[in-house]
């Protein structure tokens, strides 16, 4: 049996594919390439391949038509429909395995990093120091008395202590839009900061939210009551443009907005206008409606915006996690067992995997 692996995969699970499952593995991780493989390149590589472990390449109906030997797709993402045509796979009788929650811890950690960075001006103060603001000749002990050194940077008007002060998180209300694995992990971290929690997710009932210490709320109510709003839902027809001018109008002038989900969920122009008009205290963004951001993008000119280049899911452990999830499920399918994570269960019916090649 042959496998093509274009996702980043850890050594332990590559060895499991080869040794435990007896596969001939062609490993071409995206981290060792400058871009995704094209459809024509994939057609050539998939010749004679039974199992395709894909990361970010597109897997279209046309590609499946060309890949005559393909029996199983394993997508190293939480939402395989982002790059795999699930309907076409089902029509071809090809199960699509995936890795839900693979980066939930990573994104939740990063989200709180962004929250702290923007609310407490951590990123802004770092930038100001590195560009020459608040630097200069060291001064002697400002208090000039006492038995230990006191503040020398200054705490008077114009000092960083005054200009870059920000609110504590304790007692503030965090509104979480989307209560999947990431949103729930964010809620756990917020509980450690003793924050009040509101949640908006039509697919999660009030009882389940209460179990996680979250009050179920409608989106309008969440925006009106939250000190910080953070987005953690997938892009669907229902969520595309979910947060726009009306929602930003409901947010307090002292509120912050955070997005580590997808840029398409937010009307970015409306967000920029709210920030430029001082209708929000600040924003922290890891995703945008254009990536990479153009050099002259207005978000890069706003001092109260923290920007990062789509890094929230990039923790080292994410590769280990999705490698284990997918390998476990591949092993289950080859053994005739039902996998834990399959996007199209209908394709499992009548599946007969030839594991002799």
Cβ-contact 53, 34 below 8 angstroms: no
Q: Of 36, 92, 297, 310, which residue is the catalytic one?
A: 310
Q: 73 pairs with which residues across the strands?
A: 52, 96
Distances 223 to 90, 177, 204, 231, 251 between C-alpha atoms, Å = 40, 10, 18, 12, 5
Q: Would residue 47 show up in a list of annotated catalytic residues for this protein?
A: no
262 among known catalytic residues? yes
CA 236 to chain centroid: 15
Q: How far apart are CA 208 and CA 203, in angstroms?
A: 10
How far apart CA 86 and CA 221 sit, in angstroms, is 35
Q: And the tokens for 179? A: 């209560």
What would the two tokens of residue 197 be?
A: 């929690």
Q: Rounded to whole angstroms, how far apart are CA atoms 8 and 54?
A: 9
Is 91 a residue of the active site?
A: no
On the question of a cis peptide bond just before residue 292, with omega within 30 degrees of 0, the verdict is: yes
Phi, psi of 153 (to 5 degrees): -75, -25
Active-site hit among 77, 262, 321, 341: 262
Q: Annotated active-site positions, please?
A: 262, 291, 310
């Amino acid at each position: 049996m042959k496998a093509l692996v274009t996702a980043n995969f850890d050594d332990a699970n590559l060895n499991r594919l080869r040794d435990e499952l007896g596969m001939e593995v062609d490993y071409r991780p995206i981290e060792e390439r400058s871009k995704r493989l094209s459809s024509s390149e994939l057609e050539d590589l998939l010749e004679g391949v039974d199992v395709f472990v894909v990361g970010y390449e597109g897997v279209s109906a046309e590609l499946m038509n060309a890949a005559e030997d393909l029996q199983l797709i394993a997508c190293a993402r939480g939402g395989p429909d982002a790059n795999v045509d699930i309907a076409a796979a089902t029509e071809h009788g090809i199960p699509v395995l995936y890795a839900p929650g693979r980066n939930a811890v990573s994104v939740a950690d990063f989200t709180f990093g962004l929250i702290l960075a923007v609310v407490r001006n951590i990123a802004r103060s770092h930038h100001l120091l590195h560009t020459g603001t608040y630097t200069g000749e060291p001064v002697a002990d400002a208090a000039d008395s006492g038995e230990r050194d006191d503040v020398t940077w200054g705490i008077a008007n114009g000092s960083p202590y005054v200009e870059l002060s920000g609110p504590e998180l304790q007692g503030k209300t965090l509104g979480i839009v989307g209560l999947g694995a990431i949103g729930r992990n964010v809620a756990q971290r917020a509980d450690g900061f003793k924050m009040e929690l509101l949640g908006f997710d039509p697919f999660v009932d009030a009882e389940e939210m209460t179990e996680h210490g979250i009050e179920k709320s409608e989106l309008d109510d969440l925006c009106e009551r939250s000190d910080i709003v953070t987005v953690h839902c997938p892009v669907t027809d229902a969520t595309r443009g979910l947060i726009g001018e009306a929602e930003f109008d409901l947010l307090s002038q002292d509120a912050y907005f955070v997005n580590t989900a997808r840029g398409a969920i937010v009307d970015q122009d409306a967000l920029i206008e709210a920030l430029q008009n001082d209708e929000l205290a600040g924003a922290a963004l890891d995703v945008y409606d254009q990536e990479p951001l153009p050099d002259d993008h207005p978000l890069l000119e706003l001092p109260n915006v923290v920007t990062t280049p789509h890094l929230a899911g990039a923790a080292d452990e994410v590769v280990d996690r999705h490698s284990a999830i997918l390998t476990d499920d591949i092993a289950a399918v080859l053994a005739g067992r039902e996998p834990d994570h399959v996007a199209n269960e209908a394709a499992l019916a009548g599946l007969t995997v030839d594991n002799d090649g």
